[in-house]
Structure formats: structure tokens, C-alpha cells
Amino acid sequence: MREEQLLFTGDHILQGTTSVILPPDGDMTAYLDSLQYLQTLPLRYLAPGHGYVMSQPHDEIAKLIAHRLKREQKVIAGLQQLGTCELDQLVMTVYDDVASHLIPWAKKTLLAHLIKLERDGQVVCHDDCWQIL
């Protein structure tokens, strides 16, 4: 709603939680780029698919970007700590702050982070094992 500067976000931006990025359709680079784009819009409100209308849209978007980049750093740190490892091992290190029932979802988003990092030339996968380059 342009006149009200209200953006309906669906599941792109949620209140109180972050979206799960599901490869192959979900792409972490595209997700981060889309959040950066939203930062350029004249917004007053976000209306998420779950939660209440948010009145500080640029702050909320900045928090999401910061969260994703912080998680990406945990992925890199996890690989540095573990060395070459499979997704199941890495998810327990990178998402050590997530409830166990959410680990299957975290694993999907972890894969999205790894695919982004691989595309960025920072990690590589051989025989389902990931490592830092």
C-alpha cells in the first residue's frame, strides 16, 4: 500500500523469527539482496505473514540482515573448528542456540548459507563434506 508506505511481507519478513531459506528454490544471496533492496524503499510499516504490523521497518530489516551475516560467520567459524565435515555435524555447531526440534529447519537454512559461501568462493563441498577453502 504505497500511500500508507505499508509493505505486506508474507513469509519474507516475519515477526519474532527469521525465515527458513529452503534450497534449491530458496537462495541466501537473493534473500539478502532482496532485504538490501527493501532498505531503499520509503517504508513506514511492515505487515508480516505471521505476527503484528511492525512500525520500524528499516530497523527490522537491518536486524534480519545482521542476523543472517552473523550466522554466516558462525558457519565459517564452525568449518574452521571442525575441518571437513558433513551437514549433520556442522548444523549442531552452527545452530547450537536453536531448540532441537528446529534443527531440521536449521539444516535447510545452513545449506542455503553453504551454497552462498561456495558461490562466493569461500567453501567447497566434496562427497557431501564441506570445508573452508
- Burial code (b: 16+ CB inside 10 Å, e: under 16) for 101-128 equals eeeeebbebbbbbbbbbeeeeebebeee
**CA 106 to CA 100: how far, in whole Å?**
10
Contact 6, 47 (CB under 8 A): yes
- Strand 45-48 relative to strand 85-86: parallel, antiparallel, unpaired? unpaired
Angle at alpha carbon of residue 92, lines to 111 and 10, rounded to 5°:
50
> Which grid coordinates are listed for 126?
566434496
DSSP annotation of 100: G
Check residue 16 and give its pLDDT. Answer: 83
- Burial code (b: 16+ CB inside 10 Å, e: under 16) for 69-94 equals eebbebbeebbeebeebebeebbbbb
pLDDT 10s digits, 35-68: 999 999 999 999 999 889 999 999 999 999 999 9
Domains of the chain with CATH codes: 6-132 (1.10.10.10)
* 3-class state of residue 62 by DSSP: helix
pLDDT 10s digits, 103-127: 999 999 999 999 999 999 999 999 9
Q: What's the whole-model pTM score?
A: 0.93
- Burial code (b: 16+ CB inside 10 Å, e: under 16) for 15-44 equals eeeebbbebeebbbeebbeebeebeeeebe
